[in-house]
Chain A
Amino acid sequence: MLGLMTVDPAGDLAPAAPATKEELLGRVAHGDQSAFGELYDQIAPRVLGLVKRLLVDHAQSEEVTQEIFLEIWQSAARFEPTRGGASTWILTMAHRRAVDRIRSSQAGRDRDTKIGIRDLAVAYDHVAETVEVRLEHERVERAMTRLTELQRQAVSLAYYGGFSHSEVADKLQIPLGTVKTRLRDGLIRLRDELGVAS
């Protein structure tokens, strides 16, 4: 049931992909450095892309990306393939690390001046480099259009902006309780649209 994983359907569309990320993670769990290198090559740009989306600053984003990959190395044995794809596992970790960095440092405040609500939809300034990414982007963008405006803004601010509940409430000028329910029902709608279900 929970094994059903549709988030990363195109994960291995790359021509002649030698090993899936799940296989690589399994080898990394046993201390295989070359598997780690391969996994890094496959997913580091996704990780850095997401982290930089939140942190904006490139140097800081690389630092956090380094922490994320060290964590992948350390905790690869805790990845459970039955639960979801490796990309999901890694991007969840990446998002949490990026948010931690925002909360714990000056990064959040510096970044505030650079980030506005304007670009917090699924911003996508340049052409995707791969079919995989483009498809995923279009799929998410389409799903996003199914949300109410308030849901979309709240989810975007929280996920792509890395803002906390109360920050989202401030920015949108709505009560905290409303933010909570909008985040939840917004994500549930997205889940259904994206087909992430049990």
Chain B
Amino acid sequence: MTDQNDSPREQHPADLAGGYALHALDAQDTAAYEAHLAESERARIETAELNDTAAALGLAVAPVQPSAALKTNLMSMLASTPQLPAAAPSAAEHATTAASAIVPGAAPVAGPTPKLGAPGLGAPELGAEGSSPNVGLRATEPADTDTDSDTDATPPAGRIRSAADSAGRGATTAEERAQARWFKRPASFLLAAAAAVALFVGGTFLGQTLNDNQFASQQAAGLAQINAADDSQRAATTTADGQEATLVWSNKLGISAVLVDNLPALPNDQDYQLWYINAEGVIPAGTFDSSGDGTVWRVLDGTMHAGDAVGVTVEPAGGSDQPTTDPIVAFQS
């Protein structure tokens, strides 16, 4: 092709500075350059300057007025979109991880400067905004679009299941139901009805099981992706104890998140555990904890497949390979 004795991988990584600032590198070159950044103060300075230069090119582009719906839509999403704390991971970590999707600018020269540590929002006046106006916003979204986004808003038919039937099962004894291997017969306990509502309700808080900043970033990024996906859906139900629980997901992205209000805190030797349930079996999808009030949420580990059921059980701390108790809540996607 156009390559003559030109072997890019052998070049000095410093040559990649321009492509890096212009977002023109492939993954391999990006990794190579970031390794170089981690070692070279000079490269970090150059990169900061070239980033600024690239942004100057962006500022020279003629503005385009967005549709009014875009702002309306965005504003309605704020209350349910968690914010990240200020502390930034180290330079080299930045762009090589999922977190880079959400940590812009990669600010390689930036050290952590904790400014605030409030990942949760949920100021009271915001809660009200999130409670219902969200519903249907997608549908009113860009009238001027020529994508298929309006068809995405069509609810999947025939997903509604009997909540009354399932709720009744909450009365049976735990042993009895555990014996019956609840996850082998998902249809009998599924509580939630799917609905094509793109946005969740407000008052979301970060489920702080871990202080790990990276983890929090990935979690927040996942939730935001679901939120922004044009096929995001939700299913709402209540737990066995009556707390409101919501599953949000995107089949296109293959990810989902569970949100529960006022989920009771567990003793130290127990965790809540998430599961994907499908024809393959029951797949562990991460553990979390709850402080007992506010909304706790967690993006599930692993990949969601269309039609998967999602369950939450209480397990020994650290989680189990397979569920050992009955679900406190389950959803059919």
Residue positions of A touching B, CB distance < 8 A: 1-2, 5, 7-8, 29-31, 33, 36-37, 40-41, 44-46, 48-50, 52-53, 57-63, 65-67, 69-71, 73-78, 80, 83-84, 87-89, 91-96, 99-100, 122, 124-126, 128-130, 133, 136-137, 139-141, 155, 158-160, 162-166, 168-170, 173-188, 190-191, 194, 196-198
Q: How many residues of B contact A (CB 8 A)?
A: 85
Residue positions of B touching A, CB distance < 8 A: 1-4, 6-8, 11, 14-19, 21-26, 29, 45-46, 48-67, 70-71, 73-75, 77-79, 81-86, 88, 101-105, 107, 109-110, 113, 115-116, 118, 121, 123, 126, 142, 144-147, 149, 220-221, 224, 227-228, 230
- 12 pairs of residues in contact across A and B, judged by CB atoms under 8 Å: A2-B48, A7-B52, A29-B83, A74-B84, A74-B220, A78-B88, A78-B103, A92-B105, A93-B105, A99-B23, A184-B17, A188-B46
The A contact surface, by secondary structure, is helix
Q: Which of these, A74, A165, A182, contacts B82 with CB under 8 Å?
A: A74
Report A-chain residues with C-beta under 8 Å of the C-beta of B121: 31
Report B-chain residues with C-beta under 8 Å of the C-beta of A162: 23
A87–B123 CA distance with the chains assembled, in angstroms: 27
* Cβ-defined contact, B86 with A77, below 8 A: yes
Q: Which of these, B19, B48, B102, contacts A183 with CB under 8 Å?
A: B19
* Cβ-defined contact, A62 with B50, below 8 A: no
A44–B224 CA distance with the chains assembled, in angstroms: 19
Distance between B43 CB and nearest chain A CB, rounded to angstroms: 11
Q: A40-B74, A89-B105 are in contact. Are A77 and B115 (CB under 8 A)?
A: yes
Pick from A75, A78, A133 the residue with the most CB of B within 10 Å: A78
Q: A74-B83, A78-B103 are in contact. Are A160 and B227 (CB under 8 A)?
A: no
Distance between A66 CB and nearest chain B CB, rounded to angstroms: 6
A66–B74 CA distance with the chains assembled, in angstroms: 7
